[in-house]
Amino acid sequence: MKKEYFDEDYFERGAETGKSLYSHYRWMPELTIPMCHHLINTCDITEDDTVLDFGCAKGYVTYGFRLLGIEAYGVDISEYPISKAPKEVEQYLTLIKPQEKLPKKEYSWGICKDILEHIPYDGIKKQLQILYEHCENIFIIVPLGDGERYYIDSYEHDKSHYIREDLVWWHEMLQEVGYSNVKSTYDLGPFKKNWNFEKRGNGMIIGNKVEGIMKGI
């Protein structure tokens, strides 16, 4: 999917136009700040860590982390959402090209929530390799499927979704790119509570580079 697909219609009128599940994609601190709290607790993120919000869109997760005292940065391939980011985080967001090296050399954590399924099959391994080069640890949430369809049918309505694989596939992909410790689960805990009606519908995968140290779930 070309980066131009993620335009105003995608974020503001996606449900109406059939481009996505979004409608008026906006800053909702009552949801985003608690989610960032959960990410901090789940991943054991400290004030000494740096966080990459990969696929940051309008930078709301980056903003949430920074409000909580975490040094966070965001990257995205789409001009429209970054142009609509809160002024408080504009300087921390970077527009990149698909599969481009990241602007900062190293991050403690790469956060990829509902992002990697948008990458075509022929590009996902390279993108994960780039994330591995830059991120000591990685946190992923993705919708899951059987290789043909998502287990939750609503995910089929976003035309930019490509990867419809199961939890084992994602687990093995992280191992293939080099993460020594990988843990995966269907239990998303406080994340995506409105989507837990299908047990296998979403997966959470955490990878750590350092052997013998398991951060996260």
* 3-state secondary structure labels for all residues of 43-91: HCCCCCCEEEEECCCCCHHHHHHHHCCCEEEEEECCHHHHHCCCHHHHH
Please give the backbone phi and psi of residue 162, each rounded to the nearest 5 degrees, phi first: -115, -55
Residue 176 located in a structural domain: yes
Is the whole model's pTM more than 0.85, yes or no? yes
On whether residue 2 sits in a domain, the answer given is: no
Mark 1-38 as b/e (b = at least 16 C-beta within 10 Å). Answer: beeeebbebbbbbbeeeebbebeebeeeeeebbebbee
Domain housing 129: 29-208
**At which residue do the structure tokens 């994960």 appear?**
128
pLDDT by residue, tens only, the chain of 217 residues: 667 899 999 999 999 998 999 999 999 999 999 999 999 999 999 999 999 999 999 999 999 999 999 999 999 999 999 999 999 999 999 999 998 989 878 999 999 999 999 999 999 999 999 999 999 999 999 999 999 999 999 999 999 999 999 999 999 999 999 998 999 999 998 898 888 788 899 999 999 997 655 566 6
Evaluate whether residue 215 is within a structural domain.
Answer: no
Q: What is the pLDDT of residue 3?
A: 74
Asked if the structure places residue 1 within a domain, the reply is: no
Residue 19 lies in a domain: no
Residue 172 lies in a domain: yes
Which residues, listed in sequence order, are joined to residue 135 by a DSSP beta bridge?
107
Q: List phi, psi (to 5°) of 37.
A: -60, -45
Q: How many domains does the chain have?
A: 1
Give the pLDDT of residue 105. Answer: 81
Contacting residues for 149 by C-beta, under 8 A, at least 6 apart: 156, 164
* 9 domain-assigned: no
- Say what the pLDDT of residue 211 is: 64
CATH, residue 65: 3.40.50.150
4 domain-assigned: no
Q: What are phi and psi of 148, to 5 degrees?
A: -115, -45
